[in-house]
C-alpha cells in the first residue's frame, strides 16, 4: 500500500528514479497516453494562446524587502516546505477566500513580517511555534473550531478545536516543529542555511543534472517533509514535488547572478527537472484528454473518478480559446470539492502526470514544422518545468478551468 515507504533511490539517481518509477507505475496501472492526444492539446487554441504568457508562472515571486540573499533564500525554502494543503481548497476558500497556495504564501509573509520578536523563521523558532500562532498568521483562526452538543445541557453547544481547517493548521504546525527540530539537531540556524549547504555541495558536481541530483538528495534525506515517495502494491514511486520545486524556484530567482559573485550557488540544468506533481496538474491532464483513465487497472478504482472527463463536447470547449471576458478572475463562490482519493490512487495519478509531461516535451520538440505553423520558434524549446507552470497557472487563468474538479488526498504534507 502507498503508506509504506520504499528505500531511498541510489545516490546519484534521484532524478532518474522520479522519471523511471513514474513511467513504470503509469504503465502498470494501464493509464493511456497517446501522441495524438498530446498533439491535440499542443495545437489547440487553449494552449497556443496562453502558453507563452504562463510558461514561467509558478507563483514564487516574493514582493518583500530582504536584508540579504540568504534571508530571501530562507523564506523561499520555507514557502516550498509549506506548499501543501491542496485537499483543503474548499474549506480554505470558505474560511479565508484563498486557496491552499495563496494561504501558504500569506502564512510565510506573516511569519516574515512578524519575525522580529519570536523569530519563527529560525530553526529554534520553527521548532517552538504553536498552532494558534499558525492559525492567526494563516488568517483562519476563526475557522478552527467546531460546535458539538453539550453532554448534559440541552440546547447548549460547546466549541472545540476541530474540522478540516484545524486539521490543516495542525499539519502545518507539525511540519514546522519537525523541520525545526531536525535543523536544530543538525546545528543549522535556519532552513535557508541547510539548503545553502546543499547548493554548495551540488556546485562541486560537473554535470548539470548531477548537480541538481546532489541537491535533491540532500533535501530529501535531510527533511522528512520532502520525502514524497511511496510503495504502491510493491511498486516504488518517487515524486519529490516540493524538493524539486525548491531547486527550480531558487534557480529562477537567483540564476541571473554571475557565478563568481553570487552568494547563492545556483545549480544548472533545472530546466530539465521532472514535473512538480500535485493534484491540480494530473486532474487537468485528465480533463484535457491527455491522461485516459478508462483503460486503468480496475482494482485501482480510477476509471470513474472524473465522470464525463474526455467527452467530445466538453473537450472541444476546454481546448478552444477561452471566451472573451472569462479568461481571468477569482472565483466568487466556494469551489466544489473534487473526488477524494486514497494515497495509492493519488500517487498513481501523480506518477502518470510526471510521465505524461516527459512525453509532452518529446512530442512538442518533434512536431513537424508544418504542423506547428508559426509556433515553431517557442514550441521546439518547451521544457518540463514550463509545461508544469502552464498547467498550474492555466487552471487558475480561465473561469471554466477553475470549475474543473481536482482530486483530493487528505492528510498529506507533500502537495
Residue 331's pLDDT is what?
53
d(CA 401, CA 398): 5
Q: Pick the closest to residue 344 from 390, 301, 313 (CA basis).
A: 301
How is residue 342 written as a grid cell? 486514497
Residue 7 forms part of a structural domain: no
pTM: 0.91
Residue 96 contacts by C-beta under 8 Å, 6 or more apart in sequence?
Answer: 103, 106, 138, 139, 140, 143
Range with top average pLDDT, 96-110, 178-192, 196-210, 325-339: 178-192
Angle at 84 between CA 273 and CA 80, to 5 degrees: 50
Residue 261's pLDDT is what?
43
For range 18-42, the mean pLDDT: 98
Tens of pLDDT, residue by residue over 96-149, are 889 999 999 999 999 998 855 458 999 999 999 999 999 999 999 888 876 767
- The structural domain count of the chain equals 1
> 408 - beta bridge partners?
340
Is the per-residue pLDDT at 152 higher than 80?
no
Is the per-residue pLDDT at 369 higher than 80?
no
Cα→Cα distances 341→117, 279, 296, 337, 346, Å: 41, 10, 15, 12, 6
Residue 3 forms part of a structural domain: no
Q: Decide which of 21 and 208 is more confident.
A: 21
Q: For the purposes of burial, counting CB atoms within 10 Å of the CB of 151, is it exposed (0-12), middle (13-18) or buried (19 or more)?
A: exposed
Residue 46 forms part of a structural domain: yes
Residue 8 forms part of a structural domain: no
Strands 157-161 and 229-232: what pairing? unpaired
For range 155-167, the mean pLDDT: 79
How is residue 142 written as a grid cell? 476563526
Residue 199 forms part of a structural domain: yes
> 327 - beta bridge partners?
none
Tens of pLDDT, residue by residue over 233-248, are 999 999 999 999 999 9
For range 370-380, the mean pLDDT: 71
Tens of pLDDT, residue by residue over 270-286, are 999 999 999 999 999 99
Residue 2's pLDDT is what?
45
Residue 9 forms part of a structural domain: no
Q: Which pLDDT band holds residue 168 (cuts at 50, 70, 90)?
A: very high
Residue 143's pLDDT is what?
82
Residue 60 forms part of a structural domain: yes
d(CA 198, CA 338): 37
Give the residue numbers spanning the domain of 60: 14-402
d(CA 295, CA 310): 13
Cβ atoms of residues 31 and 348 within 8 Å: yes
Cβ atoms of residues 385 and 247 within 8 Å: no
Residue 173 forms part of a structural domain: yes
> 292 - beta bridge partners?
32
Q: Decide which of 153 and 346 is more confident.
A: 346
Cα 222 from chain centroid (whole Å): 19
Q: Which pLDDT band holds residue 325 (cuts at 50, 70, 90)?
A: low
d(CA 284, CA 4): 27
Amino acid at each position: 500500500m502507498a503508506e509504506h515507504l520504499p528505500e531511498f533511490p541510489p545516490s546519484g539517481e534521484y532524478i532518474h528514479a522520479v522519471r523511471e518509477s513514474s513511467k513504470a507505475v503509469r504503465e502498470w496501472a494501464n493509464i493511456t497516453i497517446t501522441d495524438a492526444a498530446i498533439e491535440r492539446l499542443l495545437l489547440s487554441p487553449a494552449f497556443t494562446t496562453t502558453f507563452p504568457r504562463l510558461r514561467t508562472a509558478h507563483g514564487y515571486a516574493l514582493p518583500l524587502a530582504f536584508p540579504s540573499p540568504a534571508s530571501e533564500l530562507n523564506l523561499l525554502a520555507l514557502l516550498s516546505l509549506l506548499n501543501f494543503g491542496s485537499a483543503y481548497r474548499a474549506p480554505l476558500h470558505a474560511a479565508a477566500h484563498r486557496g491552499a497556495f495563496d494561504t501558504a504564501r500569506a502564512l510565510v509573509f506573516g511569519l516574515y513580517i512578524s519575525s522580529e520578536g519570536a523569530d519563527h523563521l529560525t530553526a529554534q523558532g520553527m521548532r517552538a511555534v504553536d498552532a494558534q500562532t499558525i492559525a492567526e498568521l494563516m488568517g483562519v483562526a476563526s475557522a478552527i473550531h467546531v460546535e458539538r452538543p453539550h453532554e448534559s445541557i440541552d440546547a447548549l453547544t460547546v466549541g472545540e478545536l476541530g474540522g478540516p481547517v484545524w486539521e490543516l493548521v495542525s499539519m502545518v504546525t507539525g511540519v514546522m516543529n519537525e523541520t525545526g527540530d531536525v535543523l536544530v539537531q543538525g546545528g543549522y540556524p535556519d532552513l535557508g542555511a541547510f539548503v545553502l549547504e546543499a547548493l554548495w555541495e551540488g556546485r562541486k558536481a560537473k554535470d548539470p543534472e548531477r548537480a541538481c541530483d546532489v541537491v535533491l538528495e540532500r533535501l530529501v534525506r535531510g527533511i522528512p517533509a520532502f520525502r514524497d515517495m511511496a510503495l504502491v502494491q510493491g511498486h516504488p514511486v518517487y515524486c519529490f514535488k516540493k524538493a524539486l520545486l525548491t531547486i527550480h524556484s531558487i534557480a529562477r530567482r537567483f540564476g541571473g547572478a554571475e557565478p563568481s559573485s553570487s552568494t547563492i550557488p545556483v545549480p544548472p540544468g533545472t530546466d530539465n527537472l521532472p514535473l512538480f506533481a500535485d493534484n491540480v496538474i494530473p486532474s487537468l491532464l485528465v480533463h484535457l484528454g491527455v491522461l485516459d483513465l478508462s483503460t486503468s487497472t480496475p482494482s485501482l478504482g480510477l476509471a470513474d473518478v472524473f465522470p464525463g472527463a474526455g467527452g467530445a463536447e466538453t473537450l472541444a470547449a476546454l481546448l478552444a480559446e477561452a471566451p472573451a471576458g472569462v479568461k481571468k478572475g477569482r472565483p466568487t463562490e466556494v469551489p466544489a470539492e473534487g473526488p477524494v482519493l486514497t494515497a495509492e490512487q493519488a500517487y498513481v495519478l501523480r506518477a502518470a502526470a510526471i510521465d505524461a509531461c516527459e512525453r509532452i516535451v518529446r512530442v512538442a520538440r518533434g512536431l513537424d514544422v508544418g504542423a506547428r505553423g508559426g509556433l515553431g520558434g517557442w514550441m521546439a524549446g518547451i521544457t518540463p518545468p514550463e509545461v508544469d507552470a502552464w498547467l498550474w497557472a492555466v487552471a487558475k487563468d480561465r473561469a471554466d478551468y477553475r470549475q474543473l474538479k481536482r482530486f483530493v488526498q487528505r492528510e498529506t504534507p507533500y502537495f
